[in-house]
Chains A and B, each alone.
Chain A
C-alpha cells in the first residue's frame, strides 16, 4: 500500500506579542497569559475598542518576514545551496500596501531575493485562510512531486486601516478579552503575527541530520457556499475540510488528540466551528481537547494559520496543550472539551489546526508528532 502523502515541517519560526522565536510562542501559550494591551502604534481615539496584542519595537513587515524566513531556514539547516530553487509561498493582505510598503507580489520578489530563495513564488490574499491555504498548497506541490521543499511565510502587523475596519464592523471585543467558545464572548482582538516554516519531502528532509519539528500528514480546503461573510451555522464546509485532511492521512477521527481551533471569540463563528467538529469527528468531538490560542496572541488575520500551525506543532512535540484563555463558562452551542484552566499534558500523536475566513473559506491542517 502506498504511503499517504506527507510533508515534513523541518524548520519553524514565529513572532507575535508573545515574543520572538518559536520557543517564545510555546512558552507564551503554555503560560496562558493573554498578550493584549492598549494600542500605542497609532491613534485609536475615534475607535470603539483600543486594544490589541502588539509586539513593541517591531520592524517593518518586509524586515520581519525576511528575518522569519532566514530563521526558519536556519532552523531547518538549509544552506545557501539548499535555499536555491526553493519555492516561497507568501500570505499577506492583498491590494495596495499599507504605508510605503511594497505591493504583495513585489514583496514576495524582494523577500525571495533577500533570503536566497530562487524558486517559484506565489502570493495568497485569501483573508484569514491565506497562510493555511499556502501550507496546504505547499504540501500538495511536494506530494505531487513538483517541489522538494518550500518556505511558507506569512505576516500581519496590527495597523490602522484593518483596525478601523474591524472596529467599524463591531467585530472587536469591547471587554478587552477574547473568549473562544465561552459564554459571554464578545468578539475578537487583533494581534501581530509573522511566521515562516520550511516544508520538505521526506526524501529531502532525510538527506540532512536532525529530525523534523512535525509532519503535515493531511490537509483540506472547502467552501461553505452560504454567505459573503457569515459562516454556515451547520459547519458543513469546515467539516468537509476536516474530513479531507483525515482522508489524505488515512486516519480516523479517533486519531485526533488536539484541535487548535479557529475560534475567534465571535458568537456565531465559534458555534459554527463546534458544529463542524461534531459533524467531522462523529461522536468523538466532545472528547477531543480543544483550544483557540487567539485568546492569547490575538487574531493575526492573513498570518493566523501559520502562527497557529507553529504553535500546534510545538505543543504536540512538547506534549502539553495550551489553554483557551478568557473562559467564563460553557456555552451550550459549543459542547466541546475546551482546555480552560491550565495546560494539559498529552501523548497525542496528531492534532488539527483549523482556520476559516470571509467568503465561507475553510481549511484544516493535520499535524503529526515527529
Chain B
C-alpha cells in the first residue's frame, strides 16, 4: 500500500496536546487524536473521508494508556472507586472510535500490541485488511506512553490512491 499522508506528534512548534472531551487524566487519547487528525487533514482537509472509502484504524501500542491503567490499579489496590470515564478509557478501541466517528471511518477497528517492529506489524495488518477486502485505506497509528517522557506518536494513512 502507498503512504498517502503522514504525521507525527509532536512536530515543530507543538505545545501541549489539546484535550479531548470525555477523556481524562492521561495524554494517551489526546495524542492519538492529535496525530490522527493531523494525518487525516493532510489527505482530506476538514473531512470526513468519502463515504465510499472504507478506512480502517489500526492502532499499534505496547504500553496502551499506561497512565490511566496505573491510576486504576493504584485506586483499586487502595480499595477505592475509579471514575466512570476510566471505564471506556481502559481499552484503546474507544479513542479509535472517537476518530472514526469524527471522520467517518467505516472500516475495521483493530488494536495490536507489537511483537516485532511496530511499523512492520501495523503495515502487515493493513495489507491483510486490504487484500482480504474489508478496507480500502488504513489509518495506522503508532503510540507509546513511557513513564517519564512525553507521549509521542506517528500516524500514517495507507491506501492505493496517488499521494497529493
Contacts and interface: CB of A to CB of B under 8 A. Distances in A.
B43 interface: no
A169 interface: yes
Given A126-B111, A221-B110, A225-B106, A171 B87 contact: yes
A105 interface: yes
A162 B100 CA distance: 25
B99 to A, nearest CB: 9
A165 B114 contact: no
B134 A95 contact: no
Given A96-B69, A125-B64, A228 B112 contact: no
Interface in A132-173: 133, 136-137, 140-141, 143-144, 160-162, 164-166, 168-171
B72 A359 contact: no
A20 interface: no
A8 B91 CA distance: 31
A359 to B, nearest CB: 3
A359 B66 contact: no
Contact of A237 (B84, B96, B106, B125): B106
A223 B93 CA distance: 11
Contact of A225 (B73, B87, B100): B100
B92 interface: yes
B114 A228 contact: no
B79 A43 contact: yes
Contacts, number: 189
B29 to A, nearest CB: 9
Contacts of A222: 54, 106-108, 134
Contact of A221 (B82, B108, B114): B108
B19 interface: no
B128 interface: yes
Given A103-B62, A359-B94, A161 B73 contact: yes
Interface of B: 22, 54, 56-57, 61-66, 69-70, 72-73, 75-76, 79-84, 86-88, 90-98, 100-101, 103-115, 121, 125, 128-129, 131-134
Contact of B134 (A227, A229, A244): A244
Given A96-B69, A122-B121, A225-B100, 4 more contacts: A94-B111, A125-B113, A221-B107, A358-B88
Contacts of B65: 95
Size band of the interface chain A makes with B? 35 or more
Contacts of A34: none
Contact of A361 (B93, B113, B125, B132): B93
A212 interface: no
A226 interface: yes
Interface in A161-192: 161-162, 164-166, 168-171
B84 A169 contact: yes
B32 to A, nearest CB: 11
A108 B115 CA distance: 8
A168 B63 contact: no
Contact of B106 (A109, A127, A171, A240): A240
Contacts of A165: 72, 82, 86-87, 90
Of the candidates A43, A137, A141, the one having the most CB atoms from chain B within 10 angstroms of its own CB is A137
